[in-house]
Amino acid sequence: MSDKFDVIVIGSGPAGYVAAIRCAQLGLKTACVEKWKNKEGKGVNGGTCLNVGCIPSKALLDTSHKYHEAKADFSIHGIATGDVNIDVPSMIKRKDDVVKQLTGGVAGLFKTNKVTSLYGSGKLLAGKKVQVTDFEGKVTEYEAENVILASGSIPVAIPVAPVDNDVIVDSTGALEFTEIPGRLGVIGAGVIGLELGSVWNRLGSNVVLLEAMDTFLSIMDQQIAKESQKLFKKQGLDIRLGCRVTGTEVVEKAGKKEVVVTYADKDGNESKEVFDKLIVCVGRRPFTDDLLAEDSGVKLDERGSIYVNDLCSTSAPGVYAVGDVVRGPMLAHKGSEEGVMVAERIAGEKTVMNYDIIPNVIYTHPEIAAVGRTEEQLKADGEPYNIGVFPFLASGRALAANEKDGMVKMIAHAETDRILGCHIVGPSAADLVQQVAIAMEFGSSAEDIGMTVFGHPTLSEAVHEAALAVAGHAIHIPNRKKRK
């Protein structure tokens, strides 16, 4: 038996590394176990998010957007360019450099905060013991007063489209293409499918997204979803709803591999499409493979997530779970805040987390962002509400930047005027929605935002005007109802 720790964290993604750092800050002797290896075979922290998720995908999204702007949008600003080309290997290298810098940053934070890094696979045993199998196969057991499980999630696999990491890839493989696919198929038109599809569409791929659901972005407010779908169609993304993939076959033609995809529409009619590459991104599942010994005392729920209460305590005393491996949306920031909450509660503080105010973002262009409840949810609950909508077309700052697509939708309670939700498709939506999240955390009303002075000209004024529009007081658009 080796050292005993106050806290051992299994997993160093956004939930795990944040939990470990906060535990250490609070004076707890902390270790963090991580099984991830970089391309050189060395252990690195950051989990899926930093290595093959949030960060690398955003690097490719930003590069591809700049390329598209230079090629298609600079002329409207009077900027003339010659031939604009993309060097895909250089783009991938830049992505890798960003990842390396950030994962190295986590390692530095661990060192500064005196968190012990244990590289290898962690497994929870009975009695809060953690077994770590390092990369050479050596097994060591550690004891802990508390254990935090933060093992994250992995892509869902589907039998009809087995990933071969060549022609058929998952979201990780889609970050490593060495050339632009002429024809790219994407199974799933959710967050990941839209982001990855957008990257390669901007670079010149003919992208088809096959979505089994009949409704586009069903988790989003449908007014925003429909507006987004219209904008994506304008960009050239071919989004086909109600299409369920029934089979795939990799074939070789003229010395080059391609994949034939068979799918059925909502009426059962079968069609085929041929692609150079196929990305499978139908969702993610909690990663609990070989994480728990049978006598660990930790239970899973019916969805395969680790069962926890509102404070992220599992069924085993002194064992907690946070992030993608537990209930709720699989969002890095949700996991991080859970990590902070658990660390502080272990240290004796009474921290709680507000699960009603967690922003959700899709990093397409324009971005899509939301916080709080949708209009559809409020209708289903029978709750009275008022809506204010402001289009970016009426924003001077958006027009000046040639970013006029989209809108801000503010929803407030019809009787109390308390903000119930905000939904945005448009420029900097991810940052704008955070303003409303802060307001909601303090129980603000739409009137409160309307009475706040916003800088001019800014994109934030669209949030201000949407809040004013809730009561029919918008200045820069016609109001739906008369001013009182």
pLDDT in tens, 83-132: 999 999 999 999 999 999 999 999 999 999 999 999 999 999 999 999 99
Tell me the three state secondary structure of residue 26: coil
Tell me the three state secondary structure of residue 365: coil
The residue written with tokens 């709750």 in the block is 383
**Residue type (1 letter), 103:** T
Q: In this structure, how many other beta carbons lie within 10 angstroms of the beta carbon of residue 174?
A: 26
Q: 248 pairs with which residues across the strands? A: 261
- The whole-chain average pLDDT of the chain stands at 97
pLDDT at 2: 54
pLDDT at 254: 87
The residue written with tokens 């254990």 in the block is 147
Question: pLDDT class for 481, splitting at 50, 70, 90?
Answer: low
Render pLDDT for 285-339 as a digit per residue (tens, 0 to 9): 999 999 999 999 999 999 999 999 999 999 999 999 999 999 999 999 999 999 9
pLDDT at 484: 42
The residue written with tokens 């921290």 in the block is 351
pLDDT at 483: 44
Average pLDDT over residues 261-281: 97
Position 353 pLDDT exceeds 60: yes
Position 230 pLDDT exceeds 80: yes
CB-based contacts of 232: which residues, under 8 Å, 6+ apart? 194, 198, 239, 364
| Beta pairing class for 270-275 and 153-155 | unpaired
Share of the chain above pLDDT 90, in %: 97
Q: What stretches of 104-178 adopt beta strand conformation (E)?
A: 116-119, 121-124, 129-133, 139-149, 153-155, 168-169
Question: pLDDT class for 30, splitting at 50, 70, 90?
Answer: very high
Average pLDDT over residues 440-454: 98
Q: Which of 65, 365, 456, 476 is catalytic?
A: 456
Q: What's the 3-state SS for 249-296?
A: EEEEECCEEEEEEEEECCCCCEEEEEECEEEECCCEEECCCCCECCCC
Q: What stretches of 329-439 adopt beta strand conformation (E)?
A: 360-362, 367-372, 385-391, 407-413, 419-426
Question: pLDDT class for 480, splitting at 50, 70, 90?
Answer: confident
Contact 274, 190 (CB under 8 A): no
pLDDT at 440: 98
User: How large is the angle between the packed helices 88-113 and 54-68, nearest 10 degrees?
Assistant: 140
Contact 184, 205 (CB under 8 A): yes
Distance CA 33, CA 122 (A): 6
Q: Output the pTM of the full model.
A: 0.96
pLDDT at 1: 43
For the chain, list the domains and their CATH numbers: 4-155+285-346 (3.50.50.60), 168-282 (3.50.50.60), 360-470 (3.30.390.30)
Q: In this structure, how many other beta carbons lie within 10 angstroms of the beta carbon of residue 245?
A: 21
Whether 456 sits among the annotated catalytic residues: the reply is: yes
Share of the chain above pLDDT 70, in %: 99
Position 259 pLDDT exceeds 90: yes
> Which H/E stretch holds residue 433?
helix 429-441
Position 152 pLDDT exceeds 90: yes
Longest pairwise C-alpha distance within the chain: 74
